[in-house]
Amino acid sequence: MGKATVIPFGPQHPVLPEPLHLDLVVEDETVIEAIPQIGFIHRGLEKLVETRDYNQFIYVAERICGICAFGHSMGYAETVERLMGVQIPERAEYLRVIWHELSRIHSHVLWMGLAADAFGFESLFMHCWRLRERVLDIFEKTTGGRVIFSVVQVGGVVRDIDDAQLAEMKRVLEGIKDDYRQICNAFLKDSSVKNRTVGVGCISHEDALAMSMVGPFARASNVNNDARCLGNGGYGKLADFQPVLDAQGDCYARVKVRALEVLQSIDIIEEMISKIPAGDIAVPVKGAPAAGAETANLVEQPRGECYYYARGNGSKFLERMRMRTPTSQNLAGMATALAGCDLADVNMIVLTIDPCISCTER
């Protein structure tokens, strides 16, 4: 055995879109230990809740992360509604689920493109992002924005999707499905992809439980903590929801879980479109959260479960707003997965937890 060496990985690294630093303790070519560090882009968004009233903060919440923008605005709005005891119209719940699942598709397809790029499959990367563009076009037509939508408000949503647009959305999604199946085929059956992912960075079911992992990262180790199962908001109206699980716990299983979740999301959207009731899209919200009132909420975002906490102080400004994002929960699991892997596989493993550092630091 060779001498232990410490190799710094990041914060600037070709595979990382965001600054994450790892201290890799390496012996020969094997990683013995990995110590993650974040903290390069703390922006103090939680502090901003003191200077923006609860209606305005929704636009700050959206900007926590570019990819889960809709999820954050929806999670925040749900939390404040729960704090103030507001019941939103059913149509608004359905619309939120439709947009949320669309953003899951766009997030997962983006991630698959990045993963393909990480193991050097450039044309697969291009095809993934080509498909994602169609989802972004749906967003552009229905919300007026491509990344930041600003369609959620406390008490409902601000824009309706009419029947013609819903039918159009269904048609586009059918088109995506065909192309997507071919991409899935490449991801799950191609030998060059399998060489890089099968058996790499394994996390056992027990470890996943012990590390309290969340999201697709945990579901690949057969741990079901999909917050959609809790049936919050529109998710309670789904006829049958079974989370995608896999027992292998390696990088391949994580790719597979995400790949299948895209198809599941398309099915959810189609079900929602066929069931959406007519009616109002928002209720007026008056007053302010009571002093000392507090509540918590869980939302399943593309990267995993996100925890929200809000406390009122009797004014229009919240006393405290807290978002616990999936990546901060998965960092410990990532360090475990890295221990014992090959140095060349580090970027693949880091990518498969789908780290979102801006979310984590806020």
Partner 1 sequence: MGGFKLGKMTLGSMFKKPETIMYPIEKKTPPAGLKGHIVNDVDHCILCGICEKRCPCSAITVDKPSRIWSIDRFRCVQCGSCVRACPKDCLTMDPAYTPPALQKHVDEFEVPEQPNTSKREKPVEVVDEA
Partner 2 sequence: MAFAIKFAPLTVEELPALAAAKKADGWRFVQMLCVNTEDGIDMIYSFMKDDLLENHEIKGVQKGTAIPSITGEFLEAFVFENESHDLFGVDITDIAIDFGGNFYALAQKEPMTVISPEQQAAREKAKKLAAAKAAKEKAAGEQAPKTADDAAALEAKLAGMDPVKAAKVRAAMEAKAKKEAAAKQAAVDEKVAGLDPEKAAKVKAALEAKAAREAAKKKAAEAEADEAGAAAEEEGE
- In angstroms, what is the C-alpha Rg of the chain? 21
Q: Which listed range, 91-99, 121-129, 258-266, 319-327, lies at the site for partner 2 (CB under 8 A)?
A: 319-327
273-276 CB contacts, 8 Å cutoff, 24+ apart: 273/98, 273/166, 273/169, 273/170, 275/94, 275/237, 276/91, 276/94, 276/95, 276/98, 276/166
Among 262, 250, 192, 198, CA closest to 222: 250
The single-letter code of the amino acid at 300 is: E
Residues in Cβ contact with 70 at an 8 Å cutoff, skipping those fewer than 6 apart: 62, 99, 100, 102, 103, 149, 151, 152
Which one of 8, 39, 85, 120 is in contact with partner 2 (CB under 8 A)? 39
144 binds partner 1 (CB under 8 A): yes
Nearer residue to partner 2 within complex by CB, 213 or 255: 213
9 binds partner 2 (CB under 8 A): no
Judged by phi (left if over 0) then psi (alpha if -120 to 50, else beta), residue 37 lies in beta
Tell me how many residues contact partner 1 (CB under 8 A).
29
206 binds partner 2 (CB under 8 A): no
Nearer residue to partner 2 within complex by CB, 100 or 108: 100
Strand partners, 25: 6, 33
* 65 is an annotated ligand-binding site residue: yes
Q: Which two tokens stand for residue 91?
A: 């149509």
- Choose from partner 2, partner 1, none: what does 8 bind? Cβ within 5-8 Å by kind: none
Give, in order, the Cα–Cα distances in Å from 13 to each of 17, 67, 118, 323: 8, 20, 11, 27
Nearer residue to partner 2 within complex by CB, 83 or 259: 83
Q: Which listed range, 3-11, 100-108, 125-133, 231-239, lies at the site for partner 1 (CB under 8 A)?
A: 125-133
130 binds partner 1 (CB under 8 A): yes
| 179, containing H or E segment | helix 163-189
CB of residue 298 vs partner 2: minimum separation in angstroms? 7
- Choose from partner 2, partner 1, none: what does 209 bind? Cβ within 5-8 Å by kind: partner 2
112 and 183 in contact (C-beta within 8 Å)?
Answer: yes
Which one of 11, 19, 66, 145 is in contact with partner 1 (CB under 8 A)? 145
- Length reported for the chain: 362
CB of residue 193 vs partner 2: minimum separation in angstroms? 30
| 318, containing H or E segment | strand 318-324
Strands 156-157 and 294-301: unpaired
Site pattern 46..65 for partner 1 (x: CB under 8 A): ------x--xxx-xx-----
CA 86, 90, 95, 96 dihedral sign is positive
40 binds partner 2 (CB under 8 A): yes
238 binds partner 2 (CB under 8 A): no
Residues that bind partner 2 (CB under 8 A): 35, 37-40, 42, 44, 46-47, 50-51, 209-213, 225, 229-232, 288, 291, 294-298, 307, 309, 311, 313-317, 319-320, 322, 324, 328-333, 360-361
Annotated binding site for Ni(2+), which residues?
Answer: 65, 68, 356
Residues that bind partner 1 (CB under 8 A): 52, 55-57, 59-60, 123-124, 127, 130, 133, 140-141, 144-145, 148, 150, 158-159, 179, 182-183, 185-186, 189-192, 194
